[in-house]
Copies of this chain bind each other. A is one copy, B any other.
Amino acid sequence: MDELPGALGTSASLALRLGQTVFSSASLLFMCLDVEFYSYTAFCYLVTVMGLVIPWSMTLLVVDAYSVFIRCLPRQPRIMLVIVVGDLILSFLLLAAASSTASVTDLLLEAGGFYCPERLCSRYQLSATMAFLSWFLSLASSLFNLWLLPSL
């Protein structure tokens, strides 16, 4: 089952899912360490999207871990299609959230220290960076599984 690295059930896929889970959780954590984020629509959107991405990544992480360490699971075309479409939709949501957060943080930084103290703003920047990384990994997972789809 290791014909294509990155497809569901391989160790590369396990690494991708692990990265997604870690980066999304880190992004959520950096955003939520204080409750300031309620003031800005873009930050609320990021938190909402992360609330969707983290359970999705963790579920697939568990599936991959089971498939790698315990027993190879059969791949069914329908389930793969659901995973590909879900990954694509989530990666679009992640990209939108990450770029919104980055641009709003940039604007707040330019406006000076009144709206956003130095310490807080760098935390928002970190959060946006983590969201971008999570988007990249999610897109990679989706493309690898899409590549596998016609051969099923």
Interface residues of A (CB under 8 A from B): 40-42, 45, 92, 95-104, 106-107, 150
Contacts and interface: CB of A to CB of B under 8 A. Distances in A.
A97 to B, nearest CB: 8
A41 B104 contact: no
A41 B109 CA distance: 12
24 contacts: A40-B107, A41-B106, A41-B107, A42-B103, A42-B106, A45-B103, A95-B95, A95-B96, A95-B99, A96-B96, A96-B98, A96-B99, A97-B99, A99-B99, A99-B100, A100-B100, A100-B103, A101-B103, A103-B103, A103-B104, A104-B104, A104-B107, A107-B107, A150-B150
Contacts of A97: 99
Nearest to A98: B96
A143 to B, nearest CB: 9
Contact of A100 (B40, B41, B45, B102): B102
Contacts of A98: 96
Contacts of A107: 40-42, 104, 107
A103 B150 contact: no
B103 A41 contact: yes
A5 B45 CA distance: 35
Which 10 pairs of residues, A with B, have the shortest CB-CB distance? A100-B103, A42-B103, A96-B99, A99-B100, A99-B99, A103-B104, A41-B106, A150-B150, A104-B107, A95-B95
